[in-house]
Chains A and B, each alone.
Chain A
Amino acid sequence: MRAWADASAPRRTTRSPGLVLLLTLALALDVGAAMRVPVAAALSPGAEECAECHNAENPGTISVAGETKPLAMDLDAYEASLHGKLDCTGCHLGFKSRTHTANQTEGWLRTAKLEACRNCHADQFTMYEGSFHGTLVFDEASTEAPVCADCHTPHNIVAPDSPQFRRGILDLCARCHGGRGETYLDSYHGKAFLLGNDQTATCIDCHGGHRILPESDPASLISDENRVATCARCHAGANTNFAGFMVHLDPQDPRDSFTVWLFWLAYVLLIAAVFTFGGVHTAMYIYRGIKDGLYGRKHS
């Protein structure tokens, strides 16, 4: 049943206290071994070698595919990322020589942002390959559709369930799907998200992260077949009606839902009428009060 489910999409799980206890115990018992490892672990020896040139002090640039890119690397940020202990050549496959030309680099960049990820993240890669985005990239050679590093960033890779990543999701998707982002922000989830709740559902919680498919595809998380189960991941007991709630609905657009639009219009007219009458009434009352010197002539 979970075959379609995207393994990497964050779910509301709480870390079990048993696991934490076990890890603490393991850490305590292995404290001797831990002591032998330098505490402020630096870059891997391989990465240190690259850092001789690609460090923050390097003012140089390189022209790749018509774009000027700095040679400098924010090594501190890289070190703090989930990949911080890996060799650069783990992703930048084929960088064997200390000298590499721009032409070589161009090919390598694409590899490092996409194909290299498969070596460790095969499951996610397979899901991505079959997704709408993956199809665009592999079958239609699209250069616009996102590859791994477009969402996960090339170097500052963070856990997908971290607040840092979750806060950025909307911007990632809005690069292409801006209109959907607008209607999302008007929805219950979007309002909570915008006002600081990191746990509320964002794009990937409903659409999936790697295997995003159009609604019309039965395998999609938001297809008629799967939508209820997708809602139920957070809203236990969700039914078909519940899943029929329209997340991306603009109340001001009669084409989205004529009924909702009618309610919206009725309220706009009512508010305008009441506020106009109230405003005029108030202003005229105050005017008369001032004109007749009624202010300050209080009885008690």
Chain B
Amino acid sequence: MASTVASTPERGVKPRTRVEYLRFNAFHRWMHFLVFVSFTVLVFTGMPLKYKDTEWARWVMDAIGGVTAAGVYHRIAAIITVLYWLAEVTFMIVSIVRHRGRGVLGPGSMMFNQKDLRDIAGMFAWFLGKGAKPQFDRYTYWEKFDFTSLVLGTVIIGTTGFMMWFPLETTKVAPGIILNIALVIHSNEALLAMGVIFIFVHFFSAHLKPESFPLDKVIFTGSLPVEHYKAERPLEYARRVREGTLDEVLVERRVTWRTHVADVLWWTFTAVAGVSALLMSAFIIWSVFD
């Protein structure tokens, strides 16, 4: 993205190179970007409908350009959601096939395993000052929850969304009450997803927890200093050293003026997402107590 300003002359910052740990490849990063954009649009065009009798719902709708325009944006974002979901599932299937099923349930996998239960117990013990912080592999239990809830939640919210988008077609094969049920599911699944992404799991994970505060930008840059990663995910690091696969994830990263331009961009994204999250959360909390 930073390449778009390539005409600006390079000066001041001396290019230097450092070895970093590649946590997210370009595919991961593009997926996150698409989720980021579509999710924000979906929340802002959808939540006013759930809280339609509040003043803020009216403000948001007026700012967007009315309920009809919001419906169009919501559907465009829904199509993006379907596309990224299909791409992600394809990516997962290709990965599994390419590795001939090895590692699907292994320590570096997104799948839940018994260690996650021990980690939850271990984290609560650490919170209470009774024991050391558990050591994590590639993904923590809250990251697995974040990802799984998005992939499965998209199926639920997508299916019900398309039912409501095409009510005539839906009722050709199902009774009319399916549209009542679809609305209840879609609306509440949306609130659940918003809470998970905007407050309790994703924002906490990327911004609020001490290791990430105020911004963990690895989902944008893809790589992070090896020492940093070693401290955060010691088990994956140790595993790669043991298996001799560390070289696969070590990348040379040139730090240039572009890096700093990109940093501004990541912070802008974060600001947009942060303001969106705060605003929408505040609106909903306001509605609950109003």
Contact B181 A294 (CB under 8 A): no
Contacts of A271 in B (CB 8 A): 188, 191-192, 195
Contact B200 A263 (CB under 8 A): no
For window 240-258 of chain A, which residues contact chain B by CB distance below 8 Å? 241-246, 249, 251, 257
Give the contacting residue for A264; candidates B66, B184, B209, B224; CB below 8 A: B184
| Nearest chain B residue, comparing its CB with the CB of A271 | B192
Contact A242 B184 (CB under 8 A): no
Q: How far is the CA of A294 from the CA of B208 in the complex (A)?
A: 12
Take A263-B185, A274-B192 as given contacts and tell me if A242 and B168 are in contact as well, using a CB distance cutoff of 8 Å.
yes
Contact A244 B168 (CB under 8 A): no
Q: Is B126 in contact with chain A by the CB < 8 A criterion?
A: yes
Q: Is B103 in contact with chain A by the CB < 8 A criterion?
A: no
Take A239-B172, A274-B200 as given contacts and tell me if A263 and B181 are in contact as well, using a CB distance cutoff of 8 Å.
yes
Chain A, residues 152-167, CB within 8 Å of chain B (1/0): the string is 0000000000000000
Q: Is A120 in contact with chain B by the CB < 8 A criterion?
A: no
Contact B213 A295 (CB under 8 A): yes
Of the candidate stretches A17-25, A45-53, A211-219, A283-291, the one touching chain B is A283-291
Contact A285 B176 (CB under 8 A): no
Q: Is A196 in contact with chain B by the CB < 8 A criterion?
A: yes
Most buried by A among B171, B184, B199: B184
| Nearest chain A residue, comparing its CB with the CB of B164 | A188
Chain A, residues 262-289, CB within 8 Å of chain B (1/0): the string is 0110011011001101110110111111
Contacts of A65 in B (CB 8 A): none
**A-B interface pairs (CB < 8 A), number:** 148
For window 157-198 of chain A, which residues contact chain B by CB distance below 8 Å? 185, 188, 190-192, 194-197
Contact A289 B200 (CB under 8 A): no
Q: Is A259 in contact with chain B by the CB < 8 A criterion?
A: yes
Q: How far is the CA of A296 from the CA of B192 in the complex (A)?
A: 31
Contacts of A243 in B (CB 8 A): 176
Contact B180 A297 (CB under 8 A): no
Q: Is A299 in contact with chain B by the CB < 8 A criterion?
A: yes
- Within the complex, what minimum Cβ distance (angstroms) separates A257 from chain B? 6
Chain A, residues 5-36, CB within 8 Å of chain B (1/0): the string is 00000000000000000000000000000000
Q: How far is the CA of A287 from the CA of B209 in the complex (A)?
A: 10
Contacts of B58 in A (CB 8 A): 195-196
Contact B200 A279 (CB under 8 A): yes
Q: How far is the CA of A87 from the CA of B266 in the complex (A)?
A: 70
Q: Is A103 in contact with chain B by the CB < 8 A criterion?
A: no
Contact A197 B177 (CB under 8 A): no
Chain B, residues 130-147, CB within 8 Å of chain A (1/0): the string is 000000000000100000
| Nearest chain B residue, comparing its CB with the CB of A293 | B210
Q: How far is the CA of A237 from the CA of B128 in the complex (A)?
A: 62
Give the contacting residue for B177; candidates A245, A267, A275, A291; CB below 8 A: A245
Could you pull out 27 A-B pairs where Cβ atoms are within 8 angstroms? A190-B52, A191-B67, A194-B53, A196-B66, A235-B167, A237-B168, A241-B171, A241-B175, A243-B176, A244-B177, A245-B167, A245-B171, A246-B177, A260-B177, A267-B188, A268-B188, A270-B192, A271-B192, A278-B199, A279-B200, A281-B204, A284-B124, A285-B209, A289-B210, A290-B210, A294-B211, A300-B228
Q: A185-B52, A244-B176, A246-B180 are in contact. List 10 more A-B contacts (CB 8 A).
A: A190-B52, A192-B67, A197-B66, A242-B167, A260-B180, A263-B185, A264-B184, A267-B189, A271-B192, A278-B200
6 closest pairs, A vs B, by CB?
Answer: A278-B200, A244-B176, A289-B210, A294-B210, A299-B228, A267-B188
A-contacting residues of B (Cβ < 8 Å)? 48-49, 52-53, 57-58, 61-62, 66-68, 123-124, 126-129, 142, 164, 167-168, 171-172, 174-177, 179-181, 183-185, 188-189, 191-192, 195-196, 199-201, 204, 208-211, 213, 224-225, 227-228, 231
